Amino acid sequence: MLWIKNNFKYLIVIILLGATVLVWYAVFAESRSGLTVAFLDVGQGDAIFIQAENGNQILLDGGPNKATLNQLSKVMPFYDRSIDMVIASHPDSDHISGLIEVLKRYKVYSAMEPGTKSDNVVYQEFENLVKEKNIQDIFAGRDMRVNLDNGLYLDILLPVVDPENLDPHAGMLVIRLVYGKNSFLLTGDMEKSLEGYLVFLEGHNLKTDVLKVGHHGSRTSTSEVLLGFSAPEYAVISVGKDNQYGHPHKETLDILNKFQIPILRTDESGMIKIKSDGEQIFIY
Amino acid sequence: MFIFLGLLLFGLFYILKFQKFVLFIGLFFFALGLGILRYGIKDARETALEGQIGSKIVVSGTIIEEPDEKENYTRLILETDKAETKILLTGRRYPIFHYGDKVEVSGILRKPEKFSDFDWPAYLAKDDIYFEMIYPQTKLLQGKGGSRLRRQLFSIKEKFIDNLSKVIPEPDAGYLAGLTIGGKKAMSKDLQEEFRRTGIIHVVVLSGYNVTIIANVIMQALKGLPFFVGIGFGILGILFFALMAGASATVVRASIMAGFALLARATGRVYQITIALLVAGFLMILHNPKILRFDTSFQLSFLATLALIYFSPSVEKKLSFIPKKFHLREIAGATISTQIFVFPFLLYKMGMFSVVSLPVNLLVLFFVPITMFFGFLAGGLGFISGFLAVPFGWIAYAFSSYELWVVTLFSKLPFAAFNISIPFWLTLFIYIGYAVLLFKLNKDKKYALDKK
């Protein structure tokens, strides 16, 4: 106590200094422009962080473990402890385990999922948390649109039918993120048969700037017909180094090379951050 | 290892001037014989499960330790209801089980096997675990078993970590949790590797190594108060630590030794404390002889305690160029002396030598007490209100980001750590050298006293 009294002057200076640093940090952290889409480096799994210019934040899938939390700290200011919406593309553990950790630590307002039922324990834990924390639970389906900002929205392309009794990969939530002239096709673990169906539904509407390659580059995804119709400028593969499945498969890389699409991989370059001003995309 | 620690004790007796060499050798072999006997008794236990290795079994039991959560799996220690045998279960992260849960497990019973260079069965054997099951089916039967006190402590600990992670982002929250109440489980594998490379992993693993330093600081901070109040708080701090860390055998041992180091430094009664330390070490080994060989934490804390009691005062004298302000010299002395003392052992045991260990320790340890202080405030106030915890959490975050920055920076240096292993005889040789050195140092002191 005596010590505080004696050094009162210095304490005040330190506190004020701290406050100033904090304010300037916040000023920089809050001066955003355009859309940010970050493919987080979470190892073998998917996690995509989306932030609008107005500050709306979405986390699409959460990776296989806590690694997502470290990555989130790199794209969010330290005092920001909330995320507006988390989306589970499907209830497999390499996509939602990390979401559980996020739900436990961040204030999350709504959770979107395709509604595929799964009896795996990870999904049950996820559902319990959503209920326990009173998070708005949204079952998404085709023709739904989520408006995020001026000219920025998410379109749900799949699933078409209520997928309650479908296999998780067949009931996959497939999303198109549109900002002005730019768009991102976010496919989760979509497999070839579903890709064919999507092309049948959308045709040339599928044209996109960035394609998130389905199922971590597995040979069961990324058909020629999808690449032909979506004609992406970049393909992003979210995959862990030396994973046990051998992802990304050579066949997938070959076909992307054949279409001369530049490949961005999280196992090689870590987090892949893409920005858009509505006209053009920039890779960081 | 056996003989090596024995010799160390040996050297200590020597310091204490029982210079009856012949009697000594006799005593030594006598003790060795007794030790082997005691060791044998410990090992001789048999169990009914032995015949069921390799077959699928269904057993029910209680989880008797805090679950050890790794990045992609969780380890549980099950004590079976019927045979009261321990089985190590390695399973998925979800569903989450807690200490005291009664569960039914079905899977294939296995004997632990050696990894390429790690004696896994021996490591488990020190805790009397001779069986394991990999990814068994685990079903919760009933919660809330086990000791009520421990259950509540674990739940407080869990809530505390929760409070931290609600106001502070990762990886800082995990680091702060490790720092304040021990348990590196909240830290990612990569980060732990960085801590190892820079030789500072000890701050997040609860061992006497860090407890001592922390308790020391508590006492120093309360220097204005009467002497016994200071010691009281120091010991309370250690007790609190041990309890929060789950009071596992390893932690209790480490804490007791930390307490002795503290007392030695505070009272200056090195002689009495040494005897106390030896008696404590003896009792611990008598209780479970396996720790002498397989419990790295026991070995490390014993060495670190010795260093703090005998070596650190001499080192501090040589550091007169470092200002005494903010206990800078003391921290430097404690760091350097413990580092010098444990490093041959670490080389032998882990085969890794961190070149940057000293600078990193000095740069980080100085801020550790204040980081812990605000970490405690943030986690503790979180019990009352999450909002209240925020400002303190931010201050703790400021310090923790500095510390993590230092660790990451140094761990990225290409020459940060070397993988070299030294043979047992060399380790032994170095420690004999240390014993002689200590003996000389302390003899000088005695002379100095005599002259006065």
**What ipTM is given for this predicted complex?**
0.84
C-alpha–C-alpha distance, residues A72 and A76, integer Å: 6
Residue B31 forms part of a structural domain = yes
* B39 and B57 fall within a common domain: no
pTM comes to 0.80
CA distance A70 to chain B (A): 5
Q: What phi and psi values does residue A80 have, to the nearest 5 degrees?
A: -85, 105
Nearest CB to A64: which of B72, B96, B395?
A: B72
Q: What is the pLDDT of residues B350-368, one digit of tens each?
A: 677 777 888 888 888 878 8
Nearest CB to B188: which of A67, A78, A104?
A: A67
- At A7, is the pLDDT very low, low, confident or very high (cuts 50, 70, 90)? confident
Fold of A33-283: Metallo-beta-lactamase; Chain A (3.60.15)
- With an 8 Å Cβ cutoff, the interface of chain A facing chain B consists of 2, 18, 22, 64-67, 69-70, 72-73, 76, 78-79, 81, 97, 100, 104-105, 121-122, 124-125
Residue-range definition of the domain harbouring residue B17: 2-43
C-alpha–C-alpha distance, residues B170 and B110, integer Å: 36
- At A276, is the pLDDT very low, low, confident or very high (cuts 50, 70, 90)? very high
Residue finishing a domain among B124, B146, B168: B146
Residue B73 forms part of a structural domain = yes
* B78 and B6 fall within a common domain: no
- At B341, is the pLDDT very low, low, confident or very high (cuts 50, 70, 90)? confident
Higher pLDDT, A1 or B137: B137
Residue B244 forms part of a structural domain = no
Helix (H, G, I), strand (E, B) or coil at A146: strand
Structure-token pair, residue B397? 């975050």
- Per the structure, how many domains does chain B have? 2
pLDDT at A181 over 50: yes
State whether B94 and A100 contact (CB < 8 Å). Answer: yes
Q: Mark out the alpha helices in A106-162 (DSSP H runs).
A: 121-132
* B56 and B39 fall within a common domain: no
Residue B282 forms part of a structural domain = no
pLDDT at B427 over 80: no
Rg (CA), chain A: 21
Q: Best mutation site among B159, B170, B325, B387 for testing chain A: the one with the most A CBs within 10 Å?
A: B170
Residue B394 forms part of a structural domain = no
* B102 and B130 fall within a common domain: yes
User: For chain B, what percentages of helix, strand and coil (3-state, to nearest 5) are there?
Assistant: 65, 10, 25
CATH at residue B100? 2.40.50.140
* B39 and B69 fall within a common domain: no
Residue B121 forms part of a structural domain = yes
Q: Best mutation site among A76, A78, A121, A129 for testing chain B: the one with the most B CBs within 10 Å?
A: A78
pLDDT (0 to 100) of residue B435? 77
List b or e across B389-418, with b for residues whose CB sees 16 or more CB atoms inside 10 angstroms: bbbbbbbbbbbbbebbebbeebbeeeebbe
* B32 and B115 fall within a common domain: no
What is the mean predicted confidence (pLDDT) over B31-43? 62
C-alpha–C-alpha distance, residues A170 and A156, integer Å: 15
Strand blocks (E) in chain A: 35-39, 48-51, 57-60, 82-87, 107-113, 136-139, 145-149, 152-158, 174-179, 182-186, 210-212, 234-237, 263-265, 272-276, 281-283
Structure-token pair, residue B260? 């002795």
- To the nearest 10°, report the CA torsion of B237, B243, B246, B252: 80
Q: What is the pLDDT of residues B131-146, one digit of tens each?
A: 889 888 888 888 888 7
pLDDT at A73 over 60: yes
- With an 8 Å Cβ cutoff, the interface of chain B facing chain A consists of 71-72, 92-96, 162, 165-173, 188, 224, 390, 394-395, 397-398
Higher pLDDT, B282 or B356: B356
* B86 and B138 fall within a common domain: yes
pLDDT (0 to 100) of residue B34? 64
* B31 and B85 fall within a common domain: no
Q: What is the pLDDT of residues A150-162, one digit of tens each?
A: 999 999 998 987 7
